[in-house]
């Protein structure tokens, strides 16, 4: 078993578990949620395993009474798990009882928000600091507080190193591979989104090629203010039967629920909050390597 690589979210989880009874760790598949959460769990319930899911579905109470912290991995496979944990915390709010990891947010109006009972923490792909390219030297908190050290110095990280990190991905298991194996795994990740994850989320894809092209166009629009219509037109080219606006909205909504798209609120260096709120929000793929693969970037 490979040694564990410390993640940025580790300190946040350790801090929250001192007071919070339940924490949900969200993020796309392959980002490392299960490994990170399992290091803090005494009991692990894998709800993507059909047998364990069937046993939990029959009666969740015995599952939730097992030795804490109880990790409920891929909880969205059994959505009633969320409300069961919420009710358990209502009865007993002692710290560090439950951890929930999920690679999708279920579209279920029956699922209570869990506000005040279940804290949600977002886990992102590995940052450059987590990958060991070098220690972070700039603190945003320090800059905003005016206490940061003067900026300066040199980095041994070259342009080639940065390019390699972009195409390597921030997914721990994939980035360890090299060459064609890594490329094939990233392509397979994207193919699974189209062929499997959409249907698991309750939306059948009638034209997979259009969805793939839409994702490619969306990746190209990262960090821009391109409208959805612009992305749709870029994805469909000369196709006369373009998908309706509702279809492209579904694409975006499902990919956001799969944590593949990460909505970023608009930000302007201005005290005019109204102006900031009226700017179009940006979205981006959560891992640059996915965007690179969609755009055909290889090394």
Q: Rounded CA gap, 111 and 83, in Å?
A: 6
Asked if the peptide bond before residue 52 counts as cis, ω within 30 degrees of 0, the response is: no
DSSP string, 260-276: SEEEE----SSS-HHHH
* Residue position matching structure tokens 């990746």: 219
In 3-state terms the chain splits into helix, strand, coil percentages (rounded to 5) of: 45, 10, 45
- Reported pTM: 0.86
Q: Which CATH class is domain 8-122?
A: alpha beta
Contact by Cβ (8 Å): 282, 266: yes
Which pLDDT does position 109 carry in this prediction? 45
Question: Which bin fits 153, alpha (ψ -120 to 50), beta or left (φ > 0)?
Answer: left
Residues with Cβ < 8 Å from 202, sequence gap 6 or more? Answer: 107
- Which pairing describes strands 261-264 and 70-73: parallel, antiparallel, or unpaired? unpaired
Q: In the chain, what are the domain boundaries?
A: 8-122, 159-294
Burial (CB count within 10 angstroms: exposed 0-12, middle 13-18, buried 19+), residue 211: buried
Please name which of 177, 137, 43 lies closest in space to residue 97, comparing C-alpha atoms: 43
Which pLDDT does position 179 carry in this prediction? 85
pLDDT (tens digit, 0 to 9) for every residue of the chain, 299 residues total?
678 899 999 999 999 999 999 999 999 999 999 999 999 999 999 999 999 999 999 999 999 999 999 999 999 999 999 999 999 999 999 999 999 999 988 765 445 555 678 999 999 999 988 998 877 777 777 888 888 777 777 788 899 999 999 999 999 999 989 889 999 999 999 999 999 998 888 888 888 888 898 899 888 888 787 887 888 888 887 777 777 777 788 888 899 999 998 877 766 666 676 766 666 566 788 898 999 888 887 76
Q: Rounded CA gap, 126 and 170, in Å?
A: 4
């Amino acid at each position: 078993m490979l040694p564990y690589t410390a993640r940025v979210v580790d300190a946040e989880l350790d801090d929250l578990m001192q007071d919070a009874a339940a924490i949900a760790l969200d993020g796309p598949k392959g980002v490392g949620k299960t490994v990170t959460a399992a290091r803090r769990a005494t009991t692990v319930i894998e709800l993507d395993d059909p047998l364990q899911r069937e046993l939990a579905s029959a009666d969740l109470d015995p599952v939730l009474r097992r030795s804490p912290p109880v990790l409920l991995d891929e909880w969205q496979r059994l959505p009633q798990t969320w409300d069961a944990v919420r009710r358990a915390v209502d009865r007993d709010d002692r710290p560090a009882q439950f951890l929930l990891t999920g690679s999708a947010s279920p579209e279920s109006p029956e699922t209570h928000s869990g506000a005040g009972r279940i804290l949600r923490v977002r886990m992102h792909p590995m940052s450059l600091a987590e990958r060991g390219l070098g220690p972070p030297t700039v603190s945003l908190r320090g800059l905003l507080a005016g206490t940061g050290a003067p900026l300066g110095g040199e980095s041994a990280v070259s342009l080639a190193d940065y390019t390699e990190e972009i195409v390597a991905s921030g997914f721990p298991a994939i980035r360890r591979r090299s060459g064609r194996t890594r490329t094939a795994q990233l392509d397979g990740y994207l193919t699974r989104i189209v062929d499997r994850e959409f249907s698991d989320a309750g939306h059948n894809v009638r034209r997979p090629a259009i969805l793939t092209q839409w994702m490619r166009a969306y990746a190209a629009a990262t960090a821009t203010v391109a409208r959805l219509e612009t992305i749709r037109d870029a994805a469909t080219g000369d196709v006369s039967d373009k998908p309706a606006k509702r279809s492209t909205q579904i694409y975006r909504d499902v990919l956001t629920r799969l944590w593949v798209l990460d909505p970023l609120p608009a930000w302007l260096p201005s005290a005019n909050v109204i102006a900031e709120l009226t700017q179009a929000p940006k979205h981006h793929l959560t891992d640059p390597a996915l965007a690179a693969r969609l755009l055909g970037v290889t090394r």
